[in-house]
Chains A and B, each alone.
Chain A
């Protein structure tokens, strides 16, 4: 647990986009996530770190209700997006996921053309009223995804024909196309080579000017490079949450320190 008071005073200065209180997640009988309280700020990159299996991906998937697709998964507690509980029965997950986008660990472009990949979200949500508008959205998303120059001449080529790094940037562009406010990234670079990783990290830094980004990563160095806030998960608990620099130089909890120095994980 961390200091609630400190964050509540910080509320006056920054926008809290997502606020989680007392979140529990159960897989069948297993209590996978215990008592998590965390605030995700807008226009900020928040990193979730921790050893594998500690629940960071699970918690991430709660934020856009992707855990709904798993039968045995139960979520309790409050998760508020812009002050509204996303688990309220009146909330439509379909609508939520247009607002909270997700990028997955392994790039998963559809076996369609690059254009159709990006256009997928806007098409199903009815965001474009004409082909011209759709073209605009596609170009804007590809530019924001820092991949426009590389693919502008082959928008009809299959998305699966790109290199790994390009595919992941394509997936990021695809997620941006629905004009989300929050971008969730589940270990987006773990399947990429170092050069592609660097490109994606650069992109994340640009993205934070427009979106609130939450990134799960198993690399502490990446968290240190990319994020402003860091949350350390361990065995389903949120152990410590704070400024990235503070976590890595002066952690308060001994478990955090053990992880940072490599004694655990």
Chain B
């Protein structure tokens, strides 16, 4: 059913193109001189139909669901939904929808059956209405566009205006995405903060996101202090950096100054492979190889090591970050002007001395920027920690403990069926908000450092 409007759209677009082009060609064949090429006349009609009608179809499809839902729910007999929370209301709606699909469980009440019938009817009507609207609008536009065909008509300008508008729209998608992220995160965070005070969230030391099952349940109220969670993120990030920074920096130093050209050309792409491996693969590697290895190593030393230590997760994350640091450092070292290299060498420095006393200090701003971006990446990393780190929040900085991170909590709180009223869902969004803000700040700061440093040498 939903394919029909799209088919109509395609037909109308093609029709518009062909019609106008032929009309323009006729004018030209009759001796008049056209302002624009015939293909532009065709394109004009085609785009005039395509853009508005496509927008109508998409908007309709997007809004149809919630409009119909609202109509069905408001049409229910009075009093049926009194005193029920949004969760229960959604459940009723879901039941009505599945009844209308023919999936009936048990014996639902009559008013639900009636509502389900109404739902099906509304959906069918909506489909026909959409087809009708699409057809009428397309036809109207086709006629209008056809009427404009003439020798003086500036079809090319028309087309270019539409194309320009489309391109501007494409450019603003990025802004819409950012706005979407900020708005959706803020919205849910605000609803979360209605239930959990901001001070508890930001400064609380207990993270146990359970909700009382019954209204009168006193114990285990659910604590939502994020400190242990962000602490876990920090611990794992530090472990990751302890692996990635030395390996990355020394690799970059060797590749930049000491490696023969051919060797450098072979080694660099192989390092990039480390960056291209999907993080779910790293996560599996952590639980398959790294964590057991750490465990048996610890046992051989007589230390009892948990299966999901921060060391395992952080270590694997560090491996993933090595190419980040290495390539940023390499770029930063290469950006130091050759004149400084020459000056140091001319004074009789060895290549190592030139590297450590002149090149590296000069490249530090760029390197720091790269490290900060790696930090941001580590903080936002999800799959490695979901698979290899723990689920229980703990106030510890011991890498041999199991810790949980912000991203792990976001995922575990949202896996499974969620309704949007559940404080667990809202807590996930609040954590997501914090994650977004923190990584944004770090990225802005890092880019500013890198840019300032680049200006100093241009």
| A residues in contact (CB < 8 Å) with B | 64, 66, 69, 71, 94-98, 101-102, 104, 106, 108-112, 120-121, 124-125, 171, 174-175, 178
Q: With contacts A71-B261, A110-B358, A124-B353 known, is A66 near B342, CB below 8 A? A: yes
Inter-chain pairs besides A66-B346, A108-B343, 13 sampled, C-beta below 8 Å: A66-B342, A66-B345, A96-B348, A97-B345, A101-B347, A102-B346, A104-B342, A106-B339, A108-B339, A108-B340, A108-B342, A109-B343, A120-B344
Q: For the complex, give the distance between the alpha carbons of A120 and B358 in Å.
A: 10
Q: For the complex, give the distance between the alpha carbons of A87 and B438 in Å.
A: 57
- Structural contact, A124 and B346, CB atoms closer than 8 A: no
Q: For the complex, give the distance between the alpha carbons of A121 and B337 in Å.
A: 19
Q: For the complex, give the distance between the alpha carbons of A106 and B348 in Å.
A: 19
Q: With contacts A66-B345, A108-B343, A111-B362 known, is A94 near B357, CB below 8 A? A: no
For A174, the chain B residues whose CB sits under 8 A away are: 343, 347
- Structural contact, B346 and A64, CB atoms closer than 8 A: yes
Q: For the complex, give the distance between the alpha carbons of A98 and B345 in Å.
A: 10
- Structural contact, B343 and A171, CB atoms closer than 8 A: yes
For A178, the chain B residues whose CB sits under 8 A away are: 347-348
Instruction: Determine how close the nearest CB of chain A comes to the CB of B388; give it in whole angstroms.
Output: 42
For B342, the chain A residues whose CB sits under 8 A away are: 66, 69, 102, 104, 108
Shortest Cβ distance from A68 into B: residue: B345
Q: With contacts A111-B362, A120-B357 known, is A104 near B345, CB below 8 A? A: no
Instruction: Determine how close the nearest CB of chain A comes to the CB of B132; give it in whole angstroms.
Output: 72
- Structural contact, B353 and A110, CB atoms closer than 8 A: no
Residue among B337, B340, B347, B361 with max Cβ neighbours from chain A (10 Å): B347
Instruction: Determine how close the nearest CB of chain B comes to the CB of A151; give it in whole angstroms.
Output: 18
For B345, the chain A residues whose CB sits under 8 A away are: 66, 69, 97
Q: For the complex, give the distance between the alpha carbons of A98 and B339 in Å.
A: 18
Given A69, A71, A111, A175, which contacts B347 in the complex, CB threshold below 8 Å?
A: A175
Q: For the complex, give the distance between the alpha carbons of A34 and B337 in Å.
A: 31
Q: With contacts A71-B261, A110-B358, A111-B362 known, is A124 near B343, CB below 8 A? A: no
Q: For the complex, give the distance between the alpha carbons of A209 and B353 in Å.
A: 32
Answer whether residue B210 sits at the interface, using C-beta atoms and an 8 A cutoff: no
Instruction: Determine how close the nearest CB of chain A comes to the CB of B361; give it in whole angstroms.
Output: 8
- Structural contact, A120 and B346, CB atoms closer than 8 A: no
Instruction: Determine how close the nearest CB of chain B comes to the CB of A11; give it in whole angstroms.
Output: 29
Answer whether residue B397 sits at the interface, using C-beta atoms and an 8 A cutoff: no
| B residues in contact (CB < 8 Å) with A | 261, 337, 339-350, 353, 357-358, 361-362
Given A71, A111, A175, which contacts B346 in the complex, CB threshold below 8 Å?
A: A175
For B341, the chain A residues whose CB sits under 8 A away are: 69
Instruction: Determine how close the nearest CB of chain A comes to the CB of B256; give it in whole angstroms.
Output: 14
For A96, the chain B residues whose CB sits under 8 A away are: 348
Instruction: Determine how close the nearest CB of chain A comes to the CB of B343; give it in whole angstroms.
Output: 5
Instruction: Determine how close the nearest CB of chain A comes to the CB of B198; give it in whole angstroms.
Output: 45
Shortest Cβ distance from B349 into A: residue: A124
For A94, the chain B residues whose CB sits under 8 A away are: 348-350
- Structural contact, A110 and B348, CB atoms closer than 8 A: no
For B357, the chain A residues whose CB sits under 8 A away are: 120, 124
Shortest Cβ distance from A116 into B: residue: B357
- Structural contact, A110 and B346, CB atoms closer than 8 A: no
Given A97, A108, A111, A112, which contacts B348 in the complex, CB threshold below 8 Å?
A: A97
- Structural contact, A121 and B347, CB atoms closer than 8 A: yes
Q: For the complex, give the distance between the alpha carbons of A120 and B362 in Å.
A: 15
For A109, the chain B residues whose CB sits under 8 A away are: 343
14 contacts between A and B (CB under 8 A): A69-B342, A69-B345, A96-B348, A98-B348, A101-B346, A101-B347, A108-B339, A110-B343, A110-B358, A111-B361, A124-B350, A124-B357, A174-B343, A175-B346
Shortest Cβ distance from B336 into A: residue: A111
Given A97, A101, A110, which contacts B340 in the complex, CB threshold below 8 Å?
A: A110
Q: For the complex, give the distance between the alpha carbons of A69 and B342 in Å.
A: 9
Shortest Cβ-Cβ A-B pairs, 6 listed? A97-B348, A108-B339, A102-B346, A98-B348, A121-B347, A108-B343
Q: For the complex, give the distance between the alpha carbons of A97 and B349 in Å.
A: 8
Shortest Cβ distance from B362 into A: residue: A111
Shortest Cβ distance from A97 into B: residue: B348
Instruction: Determine how close the nearest CB of chain B comes to the CB of A81; give it in whole angstroms.
Output: 14
- Structural contact, A97 and B346, CB atoms closer than 8 A: yes
Q: For the complex, give the distance between the alpha carbons of A174 and B343 in Å.
A: 10
Instruction: Determine how close the nearest CB of chain B comes to the CB of A52; give it in whole angstroms.
Output: 19
Residue among A64, A97, A106 with max Cβ neighbours from chain B (10 Å): A97
- Structural contact, B347 and A120, CB atoms closer than 8 A: yes
- Structural contact, B347 and A124, CB atoms closer than 8 A: yes
